[in-house]
Amino acid sequence: MSKPILIVADAANTAGIEAVRRGFSKKLGRDFDFELVEDPKITGGFIAIVDGKVYDASFSTKLHDLSDALGEDDAESSDPAASSFQTVGSILRKRAATAAAGARVYDYGEVTSFSDGIAKIRGLTGAKYGELLDFDGGAVGITLDLDETGVGAAVIDGAVSTSSVVHPTGRVAEVPVGTELIGRVVDPLGRALDGAELKVRKTRPVEAKAPNIMQRAPVDTPLETGVLAIDSMIPIGRGQRELIIGDRQTGKTALAVSAILSQKDTGVLCVYCAIGQKQSTVAALARKLSDSGAMKYTVIVSASASTSAAMQYIAPYAACAIAEEFMYAGRDALIVYDDLSKHAQAYRTLSLLLRRPSGREAYPGDVFYLHSRLLERAARLAPELGGGSLTAIPIVETMAADVSAYIPTNVISITDGQIYLESELFSAGQRPAVNVGLSVSRVGRAAQSKAMKAVSGSLRLEVARYRDMAVFAQFGADIDSATAEMLRVGEALMELLKQSEQRMYSLSEQICLLLASSEGVFAKYPKREIREAVVRLLLFVRTNAPIVMRSIDGAGKLEDFDREDLVRCFSAFHAEEAKTADSRGGA
């Protein structure tokens, strides 16, 4: 601990210096041996620097405060001929208040070392974990390590040099929030990255407590992604936490972006958080969302790979705070974390630089808490709290399909289910490459509309059965006619579940396709023609049964008479297809 310093106007005033020494000994309970510094500029009194705190009882500071206060009184007086007695009385009152306040105490620290974005600071004994720090030169940091002699801080933005003075701010990290952010690309500190000016009126702490059990409502309202394979077999509800997991280049981001695109005209506001992504990737995503009209209800929070580990560390918490503002305002919100693997790596980097003990895969022991306190903030609020919801879709990248690695198993245990994307299926052209056997939604059918429940009951079982039988069939084993028919129907079903990134299905279109599949409409086509038949069928149904489609989209139900109308429409479609085939054959 550094030697305490006492700054006085006259070092020869031994009686005054001894009085200050006795006062500090009585106040702090130990003897002091001050290093004396003479500075006539302080006029009188003293300035003491003890244990990282500055005790300013100098006359110069008090006179400055008195001058400011007196100036305020003069400014408040509207009468230029105000009584001199009033002025003298004001001076006496201000002087009395200043004297009663005693020495002004404020904390400070000094940077002893800085490397790789981590600053070791001597002093700041009153700093709190997660508190923002101001460095000389304009840099901003956040405290992540506390010990007896000082703190360890991660520098979020700016450059720091050794011996820089650090001042605590007394507040935790905050981010601007509100509807002003919709349509914008910002960094985790709320600064615009899209080149336009950004003005906001409100901020929220990036760290916040998750809603407790009594503040939550059941998850029973579907969040439709527009992806047939997801909405029919692995449904997501508003307020749910559904993980997307898989190897690199298996369509994880594409699936999450499809969920954002499908929220058009649903009233759901979206936040996309890019962690450690290339700036060109984020720019391409912003263009795609803008071209699709999705930026009208989306906020992008980006901490690119070129930013500091500290910036990547706070990025998902800042994005969550932005989305929480919508939830607590009674709105429905969707947030995508892309991805939490890079977030954990950034936190591991900070922890190792802070010399914290490492554990499995060199991650610190609190890496589970890192993500649990983030994902637990997703919820559907009770009606008395506005009934808003925050749905979280975190993304985790695996290596060589190892779902038993540390971070994947952690996040799987925190979330309400996972969508597993398999490299083999992706390479085989099955996109989205959803492995139905390893994917699950723990909310399940409670998050499905009644119409979807009516037509998708056995779909998951049929897909799993087909994949099991396809494994035996690929070895050329002899199969009976029933098995061959099941394989043919399964192949048609897998073709039906293929879907491009640009094509999102509405609820009525999904119901139409699944009902058509159960009625055997696509079994009449060769495998290579099914996707074209899907396009023609949807166009035919929208043209000939628009009322039925609007009814399904509006009510979310499939009434018996609607089902009968769709089945008749399928028959008419089959007849027209046969007529068209005959005309082509005749030609």
Q: Catalytic amino acids?
A: 442
What DSSP letter does each residue of 123-179 carry, written as one string? Answer: E-TT--TTEEEEETTS-EEEEEEE-SSEEEEEEEES---TT-EEEEEEEE-EEEESG
Q: How far apart are CA 315 and CA 308, in angstroms?
A: 11
Q: How far apart are CA 376 and CA 415, in angstroms?
A: 9
CB 34 within 8 A of CB 15: no
**What one-character DSSP code corresponds to residue 458?**
T
The pair of three-digit structure tokens given for residue 216, joined into one six-digit string: 């939550």
- What single letter denotes the amino acid at residue 468? D
Cα within 13 Å of Cα(145), Cβ side: 21
What DSSP letter does each residue of 476-544 carry, written as one string? Answer: T----HHHHHHHHHHHHHHHHH---TT----HHHHHHHHHHHHTTSGGGS-GGGHHHHHHHHHHHHHHH
Contacts of 556 (CB under 8 A, 6+ apart): 222, 449, 450, 451, 507
Q: Pairing between strand 46-50 and 332-338? A: unpaired
Q: Dihedral through CA 288, CA 289, CA 291, CA 296, nearest 10? A: -170
Q: Please report, for the chain, how many H helices and E strands are present, in that order.
A: 18, 21
The pair of three-digit structure tokens given for residue 385, joined into one six-digit string: 């709290």
Maximum C-alpha span of the chain: 119
CB 573 within 8 A of CB 521: yes
∠ at Cα 377 (376, 378), nearest 5°?
90
